[in-house]
Structure 1
């Protein structure tokens, strides 16, 4: 018997080439033994003279897609043999992390562009450093038989690469080539297959102004030539998306011609996640305004698959690449589903026969003042996990998020798995997708919840589902106030372990425990509990949900509060102001709200932005931000503060005066941003001093606005800022915060 070591490696270590890396490392250092995958990660039995160096290299030299969390070592006795081998995977389980889908690596990209290579021009080339992972996974452990690649039997050449530990395709589960792998074809709008080179034909028709459905990694896109204004306008009409910005796909050199690309944006574009990154439009860009009306930024992404690389090479122009769905519905993923739902508003479809196991939208990010800020967590980031703060217990919790930008969070093994964006639960099809994701994630990760966390609002579909599930399984339910969850999410992402912090939460709507609608708060507390220190002075949301979609309603009530009824009547003379005022006076369908999101809407309406109706959530605020970013001023409108309420009356008085003097609307928008930043930062500083903390968490949908985020951080130079970052500040991060609150409360349950 020989003394050796049993080494357990935990983290994102399956599907990333970790076993061949270990094999090569062992041969380099003369280590004997074996390596295998199992339910908990990677298991290594090792003996030899260089085991200390071997252990260090496991973490410091790991493959690019690997995330090594822990390396656990124990001395064992055994027969280790004279070589080092890769052995078959252990039993199925879900104790290890699953690798997200990864964009095409440089080696595979070079192959598909090199004549004579076996995979030249092949749309599905991949290796252990890139390609589909989560989008094709049916069950763990991550082996080919557990993926949607199972029907494709490897040819002899692929099998040889797959079985060679020295090859970068060793145990690359989606390995394929033109002889044995998935194939692509072109269909016209009737579903008939078009003869010829599918990619060349599709590229030619895109150049001619056609609109295509293209099957990608996590679903279908709708694509057209982004340089042709009339085609972009036609796509808007067909998709029923009048204003909301379209995403764009292009090579990096094209993006650099149209956007102000910094090193930080370049790094995110080139990352394995390949997200959409919002980039300021350059003054020399000649792309049509129809792509993103009223916006100063365009959403760009690099091609994430060989199919997209080849198509863009052939088109030689940037492409609009928007989700393949009708606005508000889930993205289409199946071929038959695409024929049923997309064929009537596309001119053709680029199909392939590798099934997609789950819908994954494109991720969306922007570079904030402290680094990348995730706006939509999706393909390339999911199912990456977030460590649970050390002060919280290791328990299994299911958190179900909110009504909009829904997402689910599971906690297990001191990690939180925050799902991809699942859509708005106002839509019945998105509800179906939400319920499917709940079942899918529970089964895939063998999750057995000990409690359920939901939003405080009883009518949210996610809340109702959580209560029903908890009742069926006999589990406790923790109802978490919306803005407390936002605060906890920002603290948790930073790994905060203190006793008390301040949360500045600015967003649209969230039910408060007092029965009013919150949306502009300074909170003091931690994961388990909180107190509301400061809030925006409330105003009625006349018409309830209509106040969210019709900004003029918010403008009228705020102007009336400021004694500026005559201004409201002048600006909105064509609106039923008297009816609105009557409803506000008697409180009919007019709940009081402290929402900063609705305050943004009110100011936007005063400037003539989206006055009548917003065509998508956040439209008015986004356009107001774009306007403000054109102004070169750091000025801020005044406000009143009594220690508990921030009163915007002085701000509206100054704004009305500026409107009367015909001041540039960009300056007005910038001064408004300054007011919000200054008022809430000063309130947060006062609250922090009162409770004795230097930690301030920033969260809520308003912090998707990087101009506001930058202004707020500038006002807090000596404070420890938590968030936003990889957890969305909008409701896409709500479930993560709910889970942390539930964990904290379980200790005393």
Structure 2
């Protein structure tokens, strides 16, 4: 006699809008099982019954073979008595209760859809909006919940009979795929000139022709508009740079496929997986010698930000053009990416010669994500399209819902409900009204999508940050201030699921310290609840305040003063040095800082690499790019341990100046400086291990985006017997601060 079994299964995670119900239907039908499946506010609920071995195989395959876009957080199984179901059905959704179901990030076009795109016999041949349950737009088209077509920007497009049949067929891969469409019923592609007038001809072919002719074309993607030129065209790249007011910051490049990408960059297995994965981020990779890329694409940089097509439109355009293109955010420097059609025409009309656009609205803007392979793993440097709004799991749940408002630069916010931390997409620097509006609207959108009403609002201690001001204006909540560098280390702990305590090394540009000075080169004893400042880089004045950030040579002056023989080599701004030195000596408009970022700036300017910056971190980035990677020499920094530990960063600057005066190659000096910083960190952590007994080190802050520094530091720390935590899922820069703030607020609420 066959033994019958019945189980009720509840699946939580990203299991709606990703083909999970038809997967369950097909699996149960194949195994001869009966029952039903439906969505509810928490995920997917399944009732399944039949032969014992069939039910057990069902439970195994449920997680093993789940759809590619799904992310299963938890499966709950309860046994019961068979109910006598006949066949297996997909039942109506249950909308009752508080919503806890998740929304998938936008996903790159899948192989099945690409085959349809390329098949002349298919009704979706060359249709730039082909998609299915395994790919296509998700988060950027969602207006509200539940995730059904009427609450997406696909609502204006009624499905034709053919698409409707696919949409309602549980055996079809487009079953309940909300963006389902075809040329007969879906969005339409258009090519317009800079005044908005529609141009004749095939939009893809004509856009490719404009690019070949050296024109700038604005292309509407999943999360906003991009600006494109042919990557090998120096005149076009330089024109784009001038029109966009982006003097030096590198542009990203899109290649048609891996074969084309390999002609541009060194690509290992890790990089290939990143480039071809469903998130399709920009991947920072070593540039090949002789790569056919114009000098203006990434000036002074031996790496390229490389990505592959992630929409059918990109695939069609790259195939037609047959060479890589620059694809950079559609904005003027420091503004948010344009995503609304009328706004894009207004803001980009003076930059783009034409617009390759369409009539499917983008509801939520999302920049491209940026990642970098570091130390054999992957570090996210900008978390946006392809990753957000999918949550990160916290080690312990938050007792009450939390909103964390993040920092000022590379802004993100974070909402926490239970164990789920929803870190927003990269929003930008909160330095203008448009970015602040995007920040506030994003918070409201997330709260609505995930049914979260914050009871605690965490913020930075800096009173002038717009994120702090917004947090303090929210009424009826508990406000929690979190010191900037503690938030960095807490972010690293949350990223790694580690409660601490650790020795936290927080190296960045600037952050508001509890003593009223500007911190940035910190050694902390930290866990999620609190921290103690155990040490720091020696403080130096910042002559001119913000001017010292924009003009790194001022930091060279602050470090070297008048008493060093290498000073004459460094004085390319000789006429300004006396005034700057007087300013530093008197303290007039010269706040003290322990910033590691300013230390890197000083050496960059000393070596003649960068006296004036046009984007954040430029001097330090170009110093890393110049460094001789084979150099093993190490500059030594004195470390004092009487009282708080102090690392004399000035020793490294003076050693670099002495070598420069002796005629040593700046690339060698840059290599020795990086080695010296890594050695000083390791020696400082070893001294703190003696006094605290801590054997784990967490590395965070924007300085640790530097691959050379991170790799050398991790190697030395591990060789010294430390367990090392570094960022993987959220950025080490200020884009990860909101997660740290949220983790601290939740931990304090538990305490």
Q: Same fold (TM over 0.5)?
A: yes
Which residue number corresponds to residue 626 of structure 1? 625
Which residue number corresponds to residue 692 of structure 1? 693
Which residue number corresponds to residue 354 of structure 1? 360
Do residues 615 (structure 1) and 629 (structure 2) align? no
- Give the drift of 1:688: 2.9
Which residue number corresponds to residue 493 of structure 1? 495
1:421-440 to 2 correspondences below 5 Å: 421-440=426-445
Q: Does the 8 Å contact 2:49/2:82 carry over to 1?
A: no
Distance verdict in 2 for CA 1:476–1:310, change over 3 Å:
same
Q: Does the 8 Å contact 1:555/1:568 carry over to 2?
A: no
Q: Distance in 1 between matches of 2:48 and 2:575?
A: 77
Q: Distance in 1 between matches of 2:232 and 2:108?
A: 25
> Which residue, 165, 168, 177 being the options, matches 1:172?
177
Q: Distance in 2 between matches of 1:164 and 1:632?
A: 60
Instruction: Give per-residue Cα distances to partners, 1:144-185, cap 9 Å, x unaligned.
Output: 122111111111111111111111111111111101111100
Runs of 5+ in structure 2 lacking a partner?
none
Q: Secondary structure at the match of 2:523?
A: strand
Distance verdict in 2 for CA 1:661–1:649, change over 3 Å:
same
Do residues 721 (structure 1) and 724 (structure 2) align? yes
1:133-152 to 2 correspondences below 5 Å: 133-152=138-157
Q: Distance in 2 between matches of 1:90 and 1:224?
A: 49
Q: Secondary structure at the match of 1:388?
A: strand
Which residue number corresponds to residue 161 of structure 2? 156
Instruction: Give per-residue Cα distances to partners, 1:281-310, cap 9 Å, x unaligned.
Output: 011313121100000100011000000000
- Give the drift of 1:719: 2.2
Q: Distance in 1 between matches of 2:327 and 2:399?
A: 41
Q: Secondary structure at the match of 2:304?
A: strand
Tell me the number of residue pairs that the alignment of Structure 1 and Structure 2 aligns: 739
- Give the drift of 1:428: 2.1
- Give the drift of 1:625: 0.5
Distance verdict in 2 for CA 1:484–1:568, change over 3 Å:
farther
Which residue number corresponds to residue 74 of structure 2? 70
1:500-515 to 2 correspondences below 5 Å: 500-515=501-516
Which residue number corresponds to residue 294 of structure 1? 300
> Which residue, 204, 209, 213 being the options, matches 2:209?
204
Q: Does the 8 Å contact 1:103/1:272 carry over to 2?
A: yes
- Give the drift of 1:581: 2.0
Q: Does the 8 Å contact 2:398/2:416 carry over to 1?
A: no
Instruction: Give per-residue Cα distances to partners, 1:393-413, cap 9 Å, x unaligned.
Output: 443100000010000000013
Q: Distance in 1 between matches of 2:382 and 2:568?
A: 36
Q: Secondary structure at the match of 2:350?
A: helix
More divergent stretch after superposition (82-91 vs 319-328): 82-91
Which residue number corresponds to residue 741 of structure 1? 744
Which residue number corresponds to residue 654 of structure 1? 655
> Which residue, 319, 341, 351 being the options, matches 1:313?
319
- Give the drift of 1:334: 1.1
- Give the drift of 1:340: 1.1
- Give the drift of 1:5: 2.3
Q: Distance in 2 between matches of 1:370 and 1:698?
A: 16
- Give the drift of 1:435: 1.2
Q: Distance in 1 between matches of 2:125 and 2:568?
A: 65
Q: Does the 8 Å contact 1:135/1:357 carry over to 2?
A: yes
Q: Distance in 2 between matches of 1:135 and 1:578?
A: 53
Instruction: Give per-residue Cα distances to partners, 1:212-255, cap 9 Å, x unaligned.
Output: 11101000000011111011000001101110000011122111
Which residue number corresponds to residue 681 of structure 1? 682
- Give the drift of 1:574: 3.6
Q: Distance in 1 between matches of 2:434 and 2:575?
A: 34
Q: Distance in 1 between matches of 2:45 and 2:570?
A: 73
Do residues 342 (structure 1) and 348 (structure 2) align? yes
More divergent stretch after superposition (733-742 vs 344-353): 344-353
Q: Distance in 2 between matches of 1:590 and 1:739?
A: 33
Q: Distance in 1 between matches of 2:609 and 2:438?
A: 33
Q: Distance in 2 between matches of 1:139 and 1:431?
A: 21
- Give the drift of 1:728: 0.3
Which residue number corresponds to residue 397 of structure 1? 402
- Give the drift of 1:565: 7.6
Q: Distance in 2 between matches of 1:272 and 1:66?
A: 12
Distance verdict in 2 for CA 1:155–1:524, change over 3 Å:
same
Which residue number corresponds to residue 594 of structure 1? 594
Q: Distance in 1 between matches of 2:435 and 2:570?
A: 41
Q: Secondary structure at the match of 2:379?
A: strand
1:16-415 to 2 correspondences below 5 Å: 16-49=18-51, 50-76=54-80, 79=83, 81-91=85-95, 94-251=99-256, 252-390=258-396, 393-415=398-420
Q: Secondary structure at the match of 2:403?
A: strand
- Give the drift of 1:569: 8.0
Q: Distance in 2 between matches of 1:83 and 1:425?
A: 56
Q: Does the 8 Å contact 2:143/2:152 carry over to 1?
A: yes
Q: Does the 8 Å contact 2:14/2:102 carry over to 1?
A: yes
Q: Secondary structure at the match of 1:290?
A: coil
RMSD across aligned positions (CA): 1.5
Which residue number corresponds to residue 581 of structure 2? 581
Q: Distance in 1 between matches of 2:289 and 2:538?
A: 40
Do residues 11 (structure 1) and 13 (structure 2) align? yes
Q: Distance in 1 between matches of 2:29 and 2:61?
A: 13
More divergent stretch after superposition (177-186 vs 138-147): 138-147
Q: Distance in 2 between matches of 1:568 and 1:739?
A: 48
Q: Distance in 1 between matches of 2:570 and 2:163?
A: 73
Q: Distance in 2 between matches of 1:490 and 1:370?
A: 18
Q: Secondary structure at the match of 1:576?
A: helix
- Give the drift of 1:572: 3.5
Which residue number corresponds to residue 533 of structure 1? 534
Instruction: Give per-residue Cα distances to partners, 1:80-120, cap 9 Å, x unaligned.
Output: 52011112222175302210000011111111011111110
Distance verdict in 2 for CA 1:570–1:333, change over 3 Å:
closer
- Give the drift of 1:358: 0.3
- Give the drift of 1:480: 0.5
- Give the drift of 1:438: 1.4
Which residue number corresponds to residue 567 of structure 1? 567
* TM-score, scaled relative to structure 2: 0.96
Q: Distance in 1 between matches of 2:214 and 2:566?
A: 50
More divergent stretch after superposition (38-47 vs 315-324): 38-47
- Give the drift of 1:727: 0.8
Q: Secondary structure at the match of 1:48?
A: strand
Which residue number corresponds to residue 670 of structure 1? 671
Q: Does the 8 Å contact 2:399/2:749 carry over to 1?
A: no
Distance verdict in 2 for CA 1:283–1:3, change over 3 Å:
closer
Q: Distance in 2 between matches of 1:287 and 1:55?
A: 51
Q: Distance in 1 between matches of 2:40 and 2:538?
A: 56
Q: Distance in 2 between matches of 1:670 and 1:121?
A: 50
Runs of 5+ in structure 1 lacking a partner?
none
Q: Does the 8 Å contact 2:570/2:607 carry over to 1?
A: no
Q: Distance in 2 between matches of 1:22 and 1:95?
A: 20
Q: Does the 8 Å contact 2:569/2:661 carry over to 1?
A: no
Which residue number corresponds to residue 734 of structure 2? 731
- Give the drift of 1:679: 0.3
